[in-house]
Amino acid sequence: MLNLIQEAADFIRSAISLQPEVAIVLGSGLGNLTSDMEVKEVIRYQGIPHFPVSTVEGHEGKLFCGTFSGKPVLVMSGRFHYYEGYSMKEVTFPVRVMQRLGIRFLFLSNAAGGLNPSFKMGDVMLITDHINYFPENPLRGKNIPELGERFPDMSEPYDKQLRALVLQISAEKGISLRQGVYLGTSGPSYETPAETRFFRTIGADAVGMSTIPEVIAARHGGTRVAAFSVITNCNNPDNMLQTSHSEVQRVARQAETDLRSIIYELIKRL
């Protein structure tokens, strides 16, 4: 495993001209971020040794290197979802490679269904904590000590200092930001009314199908994390509306401007 990670990292290092400390995983809600970047290199996932290839509609598989907000960044456009059939090791492989490249900060976004009754479609939620409801943990199996310890601490998966900075920035910009717990489930089917009720009851504010595996791998390796959910639909167990992928993508695109400007300022102040 370590040699595969190393080979992918070596390939990327030889292809890029900067040394980024910040990586961004573009999920729904940040797709256009690269248009504000001064892009130096674009690497297709297909060309990177051992990298999985993304299949889901609306997610292209490219790694961008350049500057954003004046700082060198590595941007993953297209992520790997567990529901696509990838193993947890594949889903988290890019995070491992980026850690090998010297990344210290990882920012992620996703689309999620709102569970908190006060949430509205189009809201952006700063993730404060998560519930790993995937059937697996990406760290299951033999631990690789070079990547992190056997039983990593998870008392603060989403960096407190980064969250404080994000709240300060959003207040200054007059952007209203929700905060809450993200529950990650395998999907790809959306939740039933009973599952929605259950997820609310156990303390989740939003539900989605990504992010948690990457965050666990990031924390295992000591990378500091901030993550955001775009609330693309609101799930009320007593009045469930149909959820469609195209509607989820449309709402996510609308919230992009706010989220992009928060991340821009966050990187500037690191």
Q: Which stretch binds ligand HPA (CB under 6 A): 71-79, 109-117, 133-141, 165-173?
A: 109-117
**Closest CB to ligand HPA among residues 82, 93:** 82
63 phi/psi in degrees, rounded to 5: -105, 125
Q: Report the residue number, 12 or 207, with the smaller CB distance to ligand HPA.
A: 207
Active-site residue flag, 81? yes
Reply yes or no on whether 130 is catalytic.
Answer: no
Check binding of 228 to ligand HPA (CB under 6 A): no
Taking CB under 6 A as the binding criterion, the range among 123-131, 158-166, 232-240, 253-261 that sits at the site for ligand HPA is 232-240
Start-end of H helices in the chain? 2-15, 88-100, 160-173, 193-201, 212-220, 245-254, 256-268
Residue 82 as a binder of ligand HPA (CB under 6 A): the answer is no
Does 209 sit near ligand HPA (CB under 6 A)? Answer: yes
Q: Is 16:99 a contact under the CB 8 Å cutoff? A: no
Q: Are 10 and 97 in contact (CB under 8 A)?
A: no
Q: How many CA atoms lie within 13 A of 129 on its CB side?
A: 9
Count of residues in contact with ligand HPA, rule CB under 6 A: 13
124 contact partners, CB below 8 Å, separation of at least 6: 29, 175, 177, 178, 228, 229, 230, 231, 255, 258, 259, 262
Q: Which is nearer to ligand HPA, 103 or 209 (CB)?
A: 209
Select the residue interacting with ligand HPA from 77, 116, 132, 233 (CB under 6 A).
233
**Of the residues 9, 59, 88, 218, which is catalytic?**
59
Which position among 225, 232, 263, 266 is part of the footprint of ligand HPA (CB under 6 A)? Answer: 232
Q: Helix axis angle, 212-220 relative to 88-100, nearest 10°?
A: 40
Query: Which chain residues interact with ligand HPA by CB under 6 A?
Result: 111-113, 190-191, 207-209, 232-233, 235, 243, 248
